[in-house]
Amino acid sequence: MDTVTRRRFLIASGVTGAAALAAGTAWTLRDLFETAAWDDRPGDARTLVLVTLYGGNDGLANVIPFAAPGYRDARQELAYAPEEVLRLNDELGLNPALAGLKRMYDAGRLAVVRGVGYPKPDHSHFRSMDIWQTAQPDRPGNTGWLGRWLDSVGGDPRHAVSFEPVLPPLLAGATTAGAAIPVTGLALPNGISMSTLTSLGQSSPGEPPLQARAARAFADLVAVDTLIQSAAAEPDDEQSPTSAGTGTGGRADLPEQLALVARCVEAGVATRVFSVSLGGFDLHADERNSQEALLKRLDSALTTFAERMARTEAGRRVVVVVYSEFGRRVAANGSDGTDHGTASNMFVLGAPVKGGLYGEQPSLADLDNGDLKFTTDFRSVYATVLRDVLDADPGQILNYTKPLGGFL
């Protein structure tokens, strides 16, 4: 099939993502799997999977200080009774929707880092996320912390991959950037069948290089869609949550994203960092049921992924880090929700993790205008990850040299 026909098809059809692929401006799973043949990764190298929870995940509804004085008065209808939580000790417990993470905690493979934040916190979703992704609290910069790591290793973009349509700022460096590989599947217009797309992906012997590349792009679209559909078809008893959260970014298909990460790890690709996300946590109203639905889906996705990773040598070198741009206010608002807050928790899980509680639990009796005071600088967690997962110098990447010891 000639190049003009393919180009006209792209323009006329509106096949999602096809134009970018055909123009060579996006990476594909084929490009990623090609790196399995590279020999640039030490045999004991670890892999980082960073999970961003967009919207401001309510840390006090994740790790619940059920015994703290003032907890029930502040939280009112959002409060959990001591018998409802999954107890970590006599003062703290996990949300009842996090049963899988509780099993990982009991097995010593989940670290809960408490009171994580930064000085002079910002309540804006976008500025706070910029701060977390650039790791520059004083003044968010133009490069992401993992983008700077990619710069430092002089890496191919495929060393840091996001399964999202747009590359998140955290993977953008000064001289290079990670690879964004859209995984939303295909949205074919009326009258266009998959067989038509397949025929467009069949190259002809002796055709010009650019024409052959266009054919490969169509073939990749079909391959990606097949992989997405098969990943989505894997066992998952949880339904997508109905969330009252506002649109602050993130995806709803975390299980599918992690299924693709698992396949990449098992295939031995050269990627050292994967970025995935889940959105919907901006719950200003009717929080409890929506939060539990989101946490249940998060729990299922993380534990299914962790169990799969535990089956292989490469998988047992994977570390998962879960964070959100901020927590919520201590007191519930008048709509049975919570408003933008400050310090929250981070979860770190996987076979290399030394489970337990890390950092100091913020006091509910010593607040900053109704907000929790942070006790752990988020850069200390990043520093530990850079040093112990990515074998990098935290001082060079973060301009911060105080790793939080113990969990890796």
pLDDT for residue 2 is more than 80: no
User: 94 is written with which tokens?
Assistant: 């996990």
To the nearest 10°, report the CA torsion of 273, 279, 284, 290. -120
The set of residues, in sequence order, having a beta carbon less than 8 Å from that of 260 and lying 6+ positions away, is 29, 163, 183, 227, 228, 231
Q: What percent of the chain has pLDDT over 90?
A: 69
3-state class (DSSP) for residue 4: helix
Predicted local confidence at residue 66, as pLDDT: 97
Q: Which helix (H) or strand (E) holds 345?
A: strand 344-349
Angle at which helices 254-267 and 287-309 pack, to 10 degrees?
Answer: 10
Block residue for tokens 């309540």: 123
Residue range 7-28, pLDDT digits in tens? 444 434 443 333 333 333 468 8
Q: Which of 20-24, 346-350, 402-406 has the highest mean pLDDT?
A: 346-350
Mean residue pLDDT across the chain: 85
Predicted local confidence at residue 42, as pLDDT: 83
Mean pLDDT of 273-301: 96
Predicted local confidence at residue 141, as pLDDT: 84
Percent helix, strand and coil across the chain, each to the nearest 5: 40, 15, 50
Is 280 within 8 Å of 245 (Cβ atoms)? yes
User: 11 is written with which tokens?
Assistant: 């323009």
Residue range 208-239, pLDDT digits in tens? 665 565 555 556 555 555 555 554 444 444 44
The answer to whether the predicted template modeling score (pTM) of the entire model surpasses 0.85 is no
Predicted local confidence at residue 245, as pLDDT: 54
Q: Which helix (H) or strand (E) holds 396?
A: helix 394-398
Mean pLDDT of 237-256: 61
pLDDT for residue 183 is more than 90: no
Q: Range with the lowest mean pLDDT among 12-21, 27-36, 70-79, 164-173? A: 12-21
Q: Which of 338, 342, 350 is nearest to 291 (CA)?
A: 338
Residue range 107-158, pLDDT digits in tens? 999 999 999 999 999 999 999 999 999 999 998 789 999 999 999 998 799 9
